[in-house]
Amino acid sequence: MKVVIQRVSKASVVIENIKVAEISNGLLVLLGIVDDDTQSDINWLSNKIVNLRIFGDDEGVMNKSLLDSNGNVIVVSQFTLHAATKKGNRPSYIKAAKPDVAIPLYKAFVKQLELDLGKPVQTGQFGADMKVELLNDGPVTIIIDSKNKE
């Protein structure tokens, strides 16, 4: 399981001209899933995201977590995070999990994130053509892969 986390002042997701998610001050989490991802990956990644100290404290030092700052979250599925680009110029997405595997893991990730965060998490729609808009705060962008825990 791989995520790209962006600290945002605001973010939104639009599908077919309808805004389906919108937050201020929090994280936009782009989530890529592979076939061998498990609940263990979900638990580890969710815990890492809510406790990652990337929000400013009173002195402006990145010392507060999402929990400390009462931030909000939007999770967007993004199979392209697992693109293989070694050969040729057309990315291969063979590593990305197919919907029958990815959708249950995506839903479980959102549910775990809500439990760890203690409040609802907004989402895009799995497989939809989404327009994601964000104002990256910092900018702060972090990539985390649950397969690289050690």
Q: What is the pLDDT of residues 59-113, one digit of tens each?
A: 989 999 999 999 999 999 999 999 999 988 999 999 999 999 999 999 999 999 9
From the candidates 55, 79, 112, 122, which is the catalytic residue? 79
80 is catalytic: yes
Report, in angstroms and rounded to the nearest whole number, the Rg of the chain calculated over CA atoms. Answer: 15
Section 16-36 average pLDDT? 97
pLDDT above 90: residue 149:
no
Please give the model's pTM, rounded to 2 decimal places.
Answer: 0.95
* From 78, 112, 122, 123, the catalytic residue: 78
Q: Is the pLDDT of residue 150 over 90?
A: no
- What's the chain's average pLDDT? 96
**For tokens 């729609």, what's the residue?**
125
Q: 79 is written with which tokens?
A: 């199979």
- Does 78 participate in catalysis according to the annotation? yes
Single out the catalytic residue among 38, 39, 80, 141: 80
Q: Among this protein's residues, is 55 annotated catalytic?
A: no
| Topology given in CATH for the domain delimited by 2-148 | D-tyrosyl-trna(Tyr) Deacylase; Chain: A; (3.50.80)
